[in-house]
Structure 1
Amino acid sequence: MPNSLSTALLALALFTSTFAVNLQTPLYAAYAAESDVGATAVTVAFAAYAAGLMPTLLLLGGLSDRIGRRLPIATALLLGVLATALLVWIPNWGSLVVARALLGIGTGLVTTAGTAYMTEIMGEDNARRAALIVTSATTLGFGGGALATSISLGVQGSTLMPASFTLLFVLAPLLALLAFKLPTVDVSKRVSLLRLPVFPRGTWVFGIAMILAWSTSGMVIAVVPLELKNQGLDGWTGLVVFLAIFVGFLCQPIARRMSNTKSLAIGFVLTPLGFLVVVVGVWTGSLGLVLLGTCITSASNYGFTYLAALLEVTSRAPDNRARATAGLFVYAYAGFSLPVIASGALADLFGLLPAMTIFAIAQISITSLIIMLWMKQPSLQRAELA
């Protein structure tokens, strides 16, 4: 198979497996209503994704080094189908928890194997371009699923079996089969099946940045739609989730031309700024500000911060790219889940808007502290910002 076709097929597999992750987001309210649960339960279900993903990253981040890249990718695609089928069969909160956990396992498998595999297919000289393709495919996937379901619901009306689900049921099994036609350019290593993540030295600030960025993304995807529903604007949920991710995709080519440290610095500014605009938009009832703030956070979360962090950790661990990617996503999904659950609990106690405000204050405070610590690092690192 020609390299260009292999690259395209792998990118499509990465897109489709992550497409499944937020596919059900516009139906969260329906699943919650079916089980009569509140904001805390919804955010717990959302964060169950991390309950499946974190053990996968911590224990199986280097699995593809032992068994090859293709099987984990095919397995991730089929887990996406299984999770979505469960929600069609039993559309309630309990099923959402299980489905999100299955999707987390799939994401852990496909992101670690896919990142390493893309570089192996394209060659070491194209490592930076390979990372851009991986981040672009996964970013479009994470955002595209929610938008596809919102569009389906808009066309079909209220249904628990939108056309976007059908698309996944057709495409994912086909790609799982085609994954085994990809070239075996990777060399299996005689290593343990259970392999811990790698955290390359000197990359801690990129990891903390991912925690801050993706916790914001989690808030926008899980909590903001609940407030939109309260204001009768739940029809905009899919667009909000899509913008929360897609604008970051548009920024990735810009970030690619910058040094990783400069890109990270931009992310540190945009992440809290964007969420502050979202909070003001919710406070004033301005949908325009909510969408603007969502776009700003997206530019950081899935654009400048995501690409810079992925490039940094993989370049510092060229012999352990899968495990280094796993380490990065341990940071990312710790942020993606725990603050969201805490905010859901605060929302049930005080209301959604106060919970979002508390999150914004904490985010700005922590970001300021991390920037001060980072600027005390050796002068070489600071010089790269110039």
Structure 2
Amino acid sequence: MSKLIPISLLAFGLFTVTFAVNLQAPLYDVYAAESDVGATAVTVAFAAYVGGLMPTLLLVGGLSDRIGRRVPIALALIFGVVATALLVQVPSWTSLVIARFLLGIGTGLATTAGTAYMTEILGAERARSAALIVTSATSLGFGGGALATGISLGVQGPSLLPASYIALFVAAPVLAVLVLALPRVDTPKPVSVLRLPVFPAGVWVFGAAMALAWSTTGMTIAVVPLELAANDLGGWTGLVIFLAIFVGFLCQPIARRMTNERALALGFVLIPLGSLVLLAGVWLKVLAFVLIGTCITSAASYGFTYLAALAEVSLHAPDDRARATAGLFVYAYFGFSLPVIGSGALADRLGLLSAMIVFASVQIVVTAIIVMLRQRRPVPSSAAVKAGWQCNR
């Protein structure tokens, strides 16, 4: 079988898994209204995704080392279908919490197995190319789901069964079967099913950068739509969420030409800059600023920082990529969830704008601290790590 077929099917499978994750985002306010809940409840439901994902990363991030890469990815596709079907059958805040939890489990299974699988298909010497394909597929998926629902609602009108949901119901089961039919290129390991993630030495700063960058993305997906809806701009939610991720995808080819360290440094500049522009847009009620700020944060979150971090972790743990990827996403999703929940609680007490001001202020301070620590303890160059690994083989 040509490598192009398994690469394409795997990439499309990862795209579909992540497509399901934000598919329901333009309907957050509808589900909240059905249950008469506030901003805190919406952000809790949003973060329930991490409630399912984190235990998966922490406990079974290396599951695919034992049972193979294909089964976890197929399961993730089915979880996406089940979660979305639940929202159709019982549209409420409670269903949203359960659905997001299931989607988190699926993402945890797919991203760890998928990254390792893609590297094994392409070969270890092309680990950076494998990381680019995975980040591209997942970035398009995370953003594409929200945009597809937004477009569907715009064409259909108000609906709890948009065409984007139907597309998932058709595509995901077919892909699950096709993924199971892919060739097995990994060597099974006689390891425990329950395996903790690995945190390679020397790459903590990449994990911290992921946490910072994805915290802004979490705000953009969970909190900004509430502010847009409050200003009668709810129809722009799908586009905002799509831009929050798609622009990062467009930046990945540029990031690929840079060293991981340079891409990381650029990410540290773009993270607070994007947050400030986004805040200005919400403060002044200028949609253009909201869109520009979203694009800037996307470049950091899913462009320079995401690709650099995934490639660096893969390089530092060539024999344990699945668990190392799980470790990286532990950093990322702590940032993706906890600040968002805190901001939601502040929003109910102080208002959405005040919550965003506090968030941006804390993020700028933490970014400055991490940059100073990085300058005192520089990250080993990728070339040096690779040379050292090769010498030890």
1:208 and 1:285 map into 2 onto residues whose CA distance is 31
Q: Is the 8 A contact 1:74 1:177 kept in 2?
A: yes
One-letter identity of the residue aligned with 1:102: L
Match of 1:142 in 2: 142
| Residue pairs, 1:79-228, within 5 angstroms | 79-228=79-228
How far apart are 1:54 and its partner, in Å?
0.2
Distance 1:99 1:184, change over 3 A: same
2:104 and 2:167 map into 1 onto residues whose CA distance is 20
Distance 1:276 1:125, change over 3 A: same
How far apart are 1:270 and its partner, in Å?
0.2
Match of 1:340 in 2: 340
How well do the aligned residues superpose, as a CA RMSD in angstroms? 1.3
Distance 1:290 1:192, change over 3 A: same
- 1:154-212 deviation digits (Å, cap 9, x = unpaired): 00000000000000000000000001111110111000000000000001100110110
1:203 and 1:334 map into 2 onto residues whose CA distance is 16
Q: Is the 8 A contact 2:53 2:104 kept in 1?
A: yes
Q: Is the 8 A contact 1:46 1:222 kept in 2?
A: yes
One-letter identity of the residue aligned with 2:37: V
- 1:93-131 deviation digits (Å, cap 9, x = unpaired): 000000000000000000000000001111112211111
How far apart are 1:264 and its partner, in Å?
0.3
How far apart are 1:379 and its partner, in Å?
8.4
Gap regions ≥5 residues in structure 2: 385-393
Distance 1:383 1:367, change over 3 A: farther
One-letter identity of the residue aligned with 2:117: Y
1:85 and 1:380 map into 2 onto residues whose CA distance is 47
Q: Is the 8 A contact 2:140 2:246 kept in 1?
A: yes
Gap regions ≥5 residues in structure 1: none
SS of the residue corresponding to residue 200 of structure 1 reads coil
| Residue pairs, 1:1-386, within 5 angstroms | 1-378=1-378
Distance 1:7 1:357, change over 3 A: same
Distance 1:282 1:90, change over 3 A: same
Q: Is the 8 A contact 1:274 1:296 kept in 2?
A: yes
Q: Is the 8 A contact 1:255 1:308 kept in 2?
A: yes
Q: Which stretches of structure 1, 4 residues or longer, exceed 4 Å deviation after superposition?
A: 378-384
2:51 and 2:124 map into 1 onto residues whose CA distance is 33
1:134 and 1:103 map into 2 onto residues whose CA distance is 18
Q: Is the 8 A contact 2:139 2:245 kept in 1?
A: yes
Q: Is the 8 A contact 1:32 1:42 kept in 2?
A: yes
1:375 and 1:62 map into 2 onto residues whose CA distance is 33
- 1:270-304 deviation digits (Å, cap 9, x = unpaired): 01100100000111110000000000000000000
1:380 and 1:140 map into 2 onto residues whose CA distance is 31
2:125 and 2:351 map into 1 onto residues whose CA distance is 51
- 1:200-251 deviation digits (Å, cap 9, x = unpaired): 0001100110110001100011000000011110000000000000000000
Q: Is the 8 A contact 1:375 1:382 kept in 2?
A: no
1:378 and 1:104 map into 2 onto residues whose CA distance is 33
Q: How many residues align?
A: 384
Distance 1:366 1:2, change over 3 A: same
2:380 and 2:141 map into 1 onto residues whose CA distance is 36
Distance 1:380 1:48, change over 3 A: closer
1:237 and 1:325 map into 2 onto residues whose CA distance is 30
2:371 and 2:112 map into 1 onto residues whose CA distance is 28
One-letter identity of the residue aligned with 1:332: A
2:37 and 2:296 map into 1 onto residues whose CA distance is 31
2:241 and 2:180 map into 1 onto residues whose CA distance is 32
Q: Is the 8 A contact 1:211 1:335 kept in 2?
A: yes
1:379 and 1:202 map into 2 onto residues whose CA distance is 6
How far apart are 1:136 and its partner, in Å?
0.1
Distance 1:277 1:382, change over 3 A: farther
2:383 and 2:68 map into 1 onto residues whose CA distance is 40
One-letter identity of the residue aligned with 1:155: V
Which deviates more, 118-127 or 37-46?
118-127
How far apart are 1:269 and its partner, in Å?
0.5
One-letter identity of the residue aligned with 1:138: T
